[in-house]
Amino acid sequence: MAPARTIHQLHDLRGRTALVTGGSRGLGLQIAHALGEAGARLLISSRKAAELDAAAAELRAAGHTVDTFAADGRDDAQVMALVEHALATLGGIDILVNNAGATWGAPAEDHPMDAWDKVMDLNARGVFLLTREVARRSMLPRGGGRVVNVSSIAALGGTVGSMRAAAYHASKGAVASLTRALACEWGPHGINVNAILPGVFPSKMAQHLLQPGTIEPLVARLPLRRVGDDEALKGAVLLLASDAGKHITGALLPVDGGASAVVGD
């Protein structure tokens, strides 16, 4: 029997490849930094090529190896093109991080159906299509891989107050359920499928929650009394993407300052 690896060896991603969607900013860029710091070769994707170029420059300045590909996760043809490019560029995909997402704020009784479809198509349908193709064409033939889905604590329930986003809640709940379904199906094939459930982090999507008068009462209800920052997701994604998390699958890991632990005021 080989000797047990050290904790540093278990987290080492040198020689592995990672595809990160929504990797040009916010949580996706933070995740890309984490995987790059551990040694992974990166391919980041998002809709806007200019934002990808800026993110790639930042990652390369930090010493990471990174390629880019612009694709809209709501478009089947573009998702398939992303997979083709990833396989051609990386040779195989060891780690897939499904981070791209969208939201739409509206009271449920007034929620437009085209907005519902936009959110569901990107956050749920696009996640399934990309994950299916990566598994079918890379992870299953190679006998293993890591899928890390970025869901949200919105998957765990509704909210009281200004955040009215029924489609977002539904889509992130779908991602959480999909995570567990795929973990059960693909576990025998050596594929670990897990989800991170972030709380509030500074991001373009969360700007409405970070405004004065809104953020203070939100933070006051969090056990840690703070929102996420530019490093708070790094440990979680590295655990689930590396051999340090090799015996974890089907997990839904909140990274939320304790928000999901609060049952009442």
- Residues designated catalytic: 168
First-last CA distance in the chain: 52
- Residue 176 burial (CB count, 10 A): 19
What would you measure as the largest C-alpha separation in the chain, in angstroms? 62
Q: How far is it, in rounded angstroms, from Cα 86 to Cα 44?
A: 10
Q: Which phi and psi (to 5°) does residue 139 adopt?
A: -70, -45
Q: How far is it, in rounded angstroms, from Cα 238 to Cα 159?
A: 29
Sign for the pseudo-dihedral over CA of 151, 153, 155, 161: negative
Instruction: Find the radius of gyration of the CA atoms of the chain.
Output: 18
Q: What order do you get walking across the sheet with 252-255 strand by strand?
A: 66-70, 41-46, 17-21, 95-98, 145-150, 191-198, 252-255
Measured N-to-C along each axis, helices 113-120 and 166-186 cross at an angle, to the nearest 10 degrees, of 30
Q: How far is it, in rounded angstroms, from Cα 102 to Cα 172?
A: 10
Q: How far is it, in rounded angstroms, from Cα 73 to Cα 22?
A: 9
Q: How far is it, in rounded angstroms, from Cα 197 to Cα 172?
A: 9
Residue 148, both tokens: 């890390």
